[in-house]
Amino acid sequence: MEKINYRQTKLTCYFTNVVMSSVFSLPPLLFATFREMYGISYTLLGSLILINFCTQLGIDLIFSFFSRYFNIHKTIRLMPLITASGLFVYALFPMLFPRHAYMGLVLGTFIFSAAAGLGEVLISPTIAALPSDTPDKDMSFLHSLYGYGVVGVVVVSTLFLRFVGKEYWMYLTFFWAALPVVASVLLMRSPLPDMDMGQSGKGSADSSKHRTRGLLLCMLCIFFGACAENTMSNWISVYAEKALQIPKVWGDILGMSLFAILLALTRSAYAKFGKNIFKVLTISMCGAAACYVAVAFSPNAALSLLACVALGICTAMLWPGTLIFMEEKMPAAGVAAYALMAAGGDFGASVAPQMMGIVVDNISLTEWAESLGNALSLTPEQVGFKAGMLVAAVFPVFGVLLLAYMKKFFKEKNPLAPAR
């Protein structure tokens, strides 16, 4: 029997992951434009992030329990086309019905978020199912490409908005909608591996209980990691412009773009040199907490922006690192386990950015924010943003405490060893 060459499949999965970055990184770049053009509040903008990740969460849960009823290969190949259609609706509806722009943003967000959920559930286990001598490094490299994709989206989009004009943002979105179509064509021409639709490693009731408990701990860990990463990745553009008073073009390039570059480079470094993923996770959570506190309390805009950017390093391995750790402790976990992990991550990525928007809107309207702002030469809105960043520090702090418990749990006598 002829051995299948999966090299093209691996490269196509890498390209698809780069393309999917537009779904996550483009909307935050447009938040300030939406507020200026359509008068959308920060709370409603945060709600778009909530809709994004809650939709992904729903897809994750569906695949967690009903993955065996899906034609996985067809779903993978159609996923980028759904992304393209969502981005198209996202741009076209506000252009045709500007008075109801938010409705179109919600509808488009729902569609491309469903595709993003499919991508999270299916691309990682596809890479994990491909024959490889270094599966952990392949996983880290896959997630590093997302960061490089974000950099591309940020640089191109920022320059477009600066030199072409914010009022033409919809044409920029049409451009990014074309790339997933290419990804879909490539996937249709690539062989895809068979994947376990359930959770492997069945054994005794005691072993199954330990595996379930271990998976839930990993889900909680990826939840806190997603909170730490996505609060900053979704708000750094607006924070740099509104809270630090940095011109948008420089705030996006020096803020969001550098954040994504450092995130990608850190994941690439782990793919080449990394080991001891649990230690990396612990150090990352501690660093993320320290950076958020620094952002909240730094009186200097440059230092505050530096702490924002440093979060790219600190949060880089929190999501892929938890997947790597899960695979180490529960080998061949199956699509259902990856779907549950994606659910934990998406829940964190939806809750934390939305909480940030609520905190900013509510704190900035208080008399306390006005009086504190006067004392510190800050606007109430700036005080609200700094309060939001301080609240965000809570998530990686809880992550550190969780990892301390997980260290004890996984020291037990091989509790999650797969049955032979």
**Is residue 122's pLDDT more than 90?**
no
User: Reduced to 3 states, what is the DSSP secondary structure of residue 348?
Assistant: helix
Q: What is the mean pLDDT of residues 271-286?
A: 91
Measured over the CA atoms of residue 101, residue 102, residue 103 and residue 106, the dihedral's sign is positive
- Residue 60's pLDDT band (cuts 50, 70, 90): confident
371-400 pLDDT, tens digit per residue, is 998 888 888 988 999 999 999 999 999 999
Q: What is the mean pLDDT of residues 4-17?
A: 88
- Residue 1's pLDDT band (cuts 50, 70, 90): very low
Q: Give the whole-angstrom CA distance, residue 395 versus residue 286.
A: 10
**Longest pairwise C-alpha distance within the chain:** 76
Q: What is the mean pLDDT of residues 135-144?
A: 83
Q: What is the mean pLDDT of residues 153-169?
A: 89
pLDDT of res. 201? 47
Give the distance, in angstroms, between the CA of residue 239 and the centroid of all CA atoms in the same chain: 18
The structure tokens 């997302």 sit at 146
Q: Give the whole-angstrom CA distance, residue 369 versus residue 234.
A: 23
The architecture of the domain spanning 7-409 is Up-down Bundle (1.20)
pLDDT of res. 207? 64
- How is the chain split among helix, strand and coil, in percent rounded to 5? 85, 0, 15
pTM of the model: 0.75
Closest CA to 281 of 127, 138, 403, 148: 403
* Residue 131 DSSP code: -
Closest CA to 370 of 385, 359, 382: 382
288-324 pLDDT, tens digit per residue, is 999 999 999 988 888 988 999 999 999 999 999 999 8
Q: What is the mean pLDDT of residues 326-349?
A: 81
Q: What is the mean pLDDT of residues 70-85?
A: 91
Q: What is the mean pLDDT of residues 336-347?
A: 85
Tell me, what amino acid is at 281? L
Q: Give the whole-angstrom CA distance, residue 6 versus residue 17.
A: 17
DSSP string over 70-123: S-HHHHHHHHHHHHHHHHHHHHHHHHH-GGGHHHHHHHHHHHHHHHHHHHHHHH
Q: Kindly provide the b/e burial profile for residues 3-27, where b requires at least 16 CB atoms within 10 angstroms of the residue's own CB.
A: eeebeebbebbbbbbbbbbbbbbbb
Neighbours of 160 (CB within 10 A): 17
Which residues, other chains included, contact 251 with Cβ-Cβ below 8 Å and sequence gap of 6+? 236, 237, 240, 241, 244, 305
Measured over the CA atoms of residue 198, residue 199, residue 201 and residue 205, the dihedral's sign is negative
DSSP string over 169-185: HHHHHHHHHHHHHHHHH
Sequence ranges of the domains in the chain: 7-409
pLDDT of res. 412? 64
Q: What is the mean pLDDT of the chain?
A: 86
pLDDT of res. 196? 63
pLDDT of res. 205? 54
The structure tokens 């109801």 sit at 100
Tell me the two tokens of residue 373.
Answer: 């702002």
